[in-house]
Chain A
Amino acid sequence: MPGLQVWAGGISRAVRPKQGYVGPRIWHLIDARARVVGKLASSIATLLVGKHKPTYVPRFDCGDHVIVVNAKDVVFTGRKWEQKEYHHHTGWPGGLRTIRAKDLLAKFPERIIGRAVRGMLPKNLLRKQRMMRLHVYPEADHPHDAQLIGSYRAYGPRWPLGSKPERWCPRVEPPVPQGPQPLAPAQPPTQPP
């Protein structure tokens, strides 16, 4: 049949993406309030790797961008804020540094999520690129309004339990610049009766 691609014939006929294929990237906006760190991080790792897409190929960096806001409001179960410790070594003798989760949250709130996600990504050369597409902010505001002008996905408090976005945000047209607006006439201060 003309126009119909024939897929029969073993793996040599399978349609493969070209070298360096990444596909379209979209942006995900996640509110981290009252989220358990590990569960949230595993879902974020899936998005960063791109394993939620049918076009996923393990050797290509085909994941999405993820913005996490309110990262200071994540939760740990149990007594992990007191008991969990983060270690790193400076390389010098006796250079093991240890910080409790509670102190790390006070010092660098975004690193709680960042370290959890980093540990859940595949340990290969793509990990650095994938981490660069994770944008964590401790407060509710973020500098990515320009990236969210197109369609993006936002996730409310129920995700990732249902493992689907709470809403698919439709395309928002950027505001048309109108030029300098005339200043509103100053209102006279209301007189108290």
Chain B
Amino acid sequence: MPGEMDEIVAEFLVESYESLDRLDRDLLALERDPHARDVLASIFRTMHTIKGTCGFLGFVKLERIAHAAESLLAGLRDGSMSITPQTAGVLLATGDVLRLILRQIEASGTDGEDDHDALVDELGRLREAPPDPAAPPAAASQPASRPPRMRHGRGAGIRTAVTDTTVRVDVSLLDRLMTLVGELVLARNHLVEMASDRADPALTSATQSVDRITAELQEGVMKTRLQPIRTAWGTFPRVARDLAVALDKRVRIETDGDDTELDRSIIEAIKDPLTHIVRNAVDHGIEGPEVRVAAGKPDEGVVLVRAYHEGGQVTIEVADDGAGIDLDAVRAKAVETASMTPEEADRMSEREAIDLLFLPGFSTADHVTEVSGRGVGMDVVRTNIERIGGSIDISSRRGEGTTFKIRIPLTLAIIPVLIATSGEERFAIPQANLLEVVGVVPGSIETLHEVPVYRLRDRLLPVVSLAHELDLERDEEAPAGRFLAVLQADDRRFGLLVDGLSDPSEIVVKPLGPQLHGLEVYAGATILGNGRVGLILDVVGLAARAGVISDVHERLLDVERPAEASRNARALLVFADAAGSRMAVPLDLVDRLEGFPRAAVERSGPDEAVPYGDRILPLLSLQDLLVERRRAPRRGGEEMAADLQVLVHRRGDDLVGLVVGQIIDIVEQPLELEAASRPGVSGTMFVQGRITEILDLPGLLETHEERLRLDVAASAGAAS
């Protein structure tokens, strides 16, 4: 008997949660159109049902609130009062309190100690004294011509039809079915492999049948796990409304493709990123009403959320008709934070500038509005979407709005992988992360500042050894890896050194136990074709563990756009530092090249300077700026009798002289930087066939700014 009761309560909870979601939607619709009697009827019905059921189940506190709300709704329904934003707000808040109590019932079986007197009083007060009719909007009256009962009857009819053809199934059963289908896929793979070896026509034909039926079954079971995306964005109108009220904006959420279906695990995974994007759109995208009217737009902003199928994937768009992304602000921010020169920032295409928004810690919040402070940036949104095999893209037009486009796979449970071997151990690598596979010969892996790299079409690829990263036991005699799997994770690209790689196969992802949850290098486990358990590598986690550096420039100046690359060809000044290492700096950062006799150098304390025209040029030794790692012989005087080689760099109105070892050449080629190896260097690349470090001149000077400021301010003052 208690078991039966529990079941009734559980059903009540499920239905009530659904009803409250509908209540939210209906209230927002009613606020928009106060005369939609069918909507009002639906709200009334919802509240009435909740009241009735919880009375029956003995949840008196819940019943009391529902009763108060129902009375208020009755007043709205009989026309003695009309809905105002205030009433709507209180009714929405009622929905929230009801949800809270439901959760309490779920957790403890009782509806709690709190009587929620304040809410009940408020509902009663609104019922007794309808708010001032002058209060906005909803004042303009219109005869209620639609018969209120008609929709009711039809609605009930549809409900019966739906319950006739659907059943409620426990999610854990669906998960179990999915698991079984996964195993069937593995068994099928095994069978197909065996049949192809035997060349037995009967076996082949039977295998083909199994193959076909498995594929159909897989598709069917996947479909049972699909949920309409509505469940992920059902709360958005409410989120947007509350945020808009807080920001004094007028915002409407429109949705399209609510019935687009996705695997429930994916729906769960995208809910938070999507919510973040929608909040962003309301917060940063949509302007205030005055600004909008001044720009010739309606005072109410629209955020359109839509989903549709496209080529085996689902695309979700969040488009606002707001101000668009202020690219100048983004560029300014890039100069400030991403160690980019103003020249570089100016040269960035729109695409590249927008891409910056995905960098960790890169926020436009401080120059638009400041409601955010939620601690999640677009980088987290992007990581979460990429974790489920999706991608995200932003397009924006100044003054017209911003569109986020997210593409995600339909399902997660079965994924294509390659099996990598290292010694005796086998690991699965998701194919979604794999760009290509290259065979490597001994000696083709070089080191750059103790970091192994591989030249892939003249680009330097950081190399991560699987055996080394995972502490695998290896036969010392064995050759150190024969294949490089070129992997991409977030904005990191690296080569994973393994002994062998199999052809792609489909595997079923299974989660790891709680004892292993702290291991970021694994995405899960699977049963391999030979029946053993195999671990699935998490490429993002592996890159993070190996410390693969993600570099702004690497992504901005991606080599995969050759047309742009040649347009981006830049003049580089190549030189050697005092220790003889090859370095280069974009020529446009160099105002002039000068040679000064050593005798001309004047010292004041630790600082050095030379007279330069009618000013004083402060000198900085590159060697002193790059104090890291290498200890080079300081220029001593006697053996370096030649003139000082100086790059004159302009910072605003000021000039700085950078003392280098020797000027080598000026070359013209696109900047295709590999990850930076040390501070003060933006990256490395091949120049004239040799590895050359590209100096981050503005960044270097930044660190010496304090010291510079004094000297330079004085000399600039003297000059003007």
Q: Do A and B come from one complex?
A: no
List residues of chain A with CB under 8 Å of any chain B CB. none
List residues of chain B with CB under 8 Å of any chain A CB. none
